[in-house]
């Protein structure tokens, strides 16, 4: 038996022979990655440079956009290289580094969306105490806890995976994930499976239960409150709910593909579904929040108007 530290590389088998199409796919993904980077960077800059947006909701959004940059970069740079490659292999250290990027992106996204639901709950259900309950110091602490908890959890998981004895080096995906490494193990995986089970139940029953609780309370206030309260709830909660559902569907696609036999599904569709939460979510969030939140729309219009006014001056 060989230990995972003795495996020098892994083979990714879900890539298919695209021949000349690989250059077209490369350009499409490059354009998608450029748009993702551009949209998220612009919104981060807009939030950072405008003091009127230094409110808890927008600071949580800034953390979310930074995570989109982090997750998409951890996937796209490697994916673009692999598409142009004829031999789809990845070194063991790079594979585990990508596992850390992908899984920590997932955790930060999930936790960040959770504290955003808590923020919306306080804003709508306790508006008079909101500024006291959600101070900038508390926002900073919550964001720090989200990032540190996510990365610590993934480091622990990878440490367990590194100690496994592997009986192969073939991964049936287009990128590395930890479950694929566990499936290659020929040693006892009881401890790591228990760790994953605890994390799964924590995520499903505690975190999702908490999110559902906050929205039940929000709906209760909306039905019994004024028209202005309902409009505020709809305008601020709709993007969050849409983002949460989009992310959840993407993760479900990847989990189902990893744990069940999907050989009957067309290869292109399988690849798209497995990449959905890593490619569509980073594009979906900035577009959704940029279009739905009135303050960000106003800042966009202001910046665009300033650019239009400066253009004739520069050209002359």
As a whole-number percent, the residues of the chain with pLDDT over 90 amount to 29
Q: What is the pLDDT of residues 48-59, one digit of tens each?
A: 888 888 889 899
Strands 89-91 and 9-12: antiparallel
Topology, domain 2-308: Rhopdopsin 7-helix transmembrane proteins (1.20.1070)
pLDDT tier at 316, thresholds 50, 70, 90 = very low
- Cβ-Cβ contacts under 8 Å for 1 (sequence gap 6 or more): 165, 166, 167, 186, 187
Q: Given this model, what pLDDT does residue 200 score?
A: 80
Total-model pTM: 0.87
Q: What is the pLDDT of residues 30-79, one digit of tens each?
A: 999 999 999 899 889 888 888 888 889 899 999 999 999 999 999 898 88
Q: What is the pLDDT of residues 165-177, one digit of tens each?
A: 888 888 888 888 8
Q: What is the pLDDT of residues 266-286, one digit of tens each?
A: 777 778 888 888 888 999 998
**Inter-residue contact 148 to 242 (CB < 8 Å):** no
Does the pLDDT of residue 295 top 50, yes or no?
A: yes
Q: Which of 1-10, 153-162, 165-174 has the highest mean pLDDT?
A: 153-162
Does the pLDDT of residue 1 top 90, yes or no?
A: no
**DSSP reduced 3-state for 176:** coil
The beta strands (E) that lie in the chain are given as 2-3, 9-12, 89-91, 165-166, 170-171
């Amino acid at each position: 038996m060989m230990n995972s530290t003795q495996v020098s590389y892994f083979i990714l088998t879900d890539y298919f022979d695209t021949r000349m199409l690989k250059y077209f796919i490369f350009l499409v993904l490059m354009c998608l990655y450029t748009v993702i980077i551009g949209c998220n960077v612009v919104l981060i800059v807009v939030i950072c440079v405008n003091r009127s947006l230094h409110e808890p909701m927008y600071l949580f959004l800034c953390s979310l956009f930074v995570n989109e940059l982090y997750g998409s970069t951890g996937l796209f740079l490697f994916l673009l290289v692999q598409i142009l490659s004829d031999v789809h292999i990845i070194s063991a250290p790079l594979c585990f580094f990508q596992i850390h990027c992908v899984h920590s992106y997932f955790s930060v996204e999930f936790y960040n969306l959770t504290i955003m639901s808590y923020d919306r709950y306080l804003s709508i259900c306790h508006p008079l105490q909101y500024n006291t309950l959600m101070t900038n110091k508390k926002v900073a602490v919550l964001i720090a806890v989200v990032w540190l908890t996510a990365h610590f959890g993934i480091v622990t998981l990878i440490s367990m995976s590194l100690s496994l004895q592997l009986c192969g080096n073939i991964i049936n995906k287009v990128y590395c994930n930890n479950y694929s490494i566990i499936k290659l193990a020929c040693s006892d995986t009881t401890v790591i499976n228990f760790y994953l089970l605890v994390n799964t139940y924590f995520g499903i029953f505690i975190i999702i239960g908490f999110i559902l609780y906050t929205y039940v309370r929000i709906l209760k206030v909306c039905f019994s409150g004024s028209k202005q309260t309902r409009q505020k709830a709809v305008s601020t909660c709709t993007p969050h709910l849409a983002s949460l559902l989009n992310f959840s569907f993407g993760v479900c696609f990847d989990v189902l593909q990893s744990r069940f036999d999907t050989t009957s599904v067309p290869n292109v569709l399988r690849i798209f579904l497995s990449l959905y939460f890593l490619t569509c979510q980073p594009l979906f969030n900035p577009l959704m929040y940029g279009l739905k939140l009135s303050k960000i729309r106003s800042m966009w219009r202001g910046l665009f108007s300033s650019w239009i006014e400066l253009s004739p001056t520069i050209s002359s």
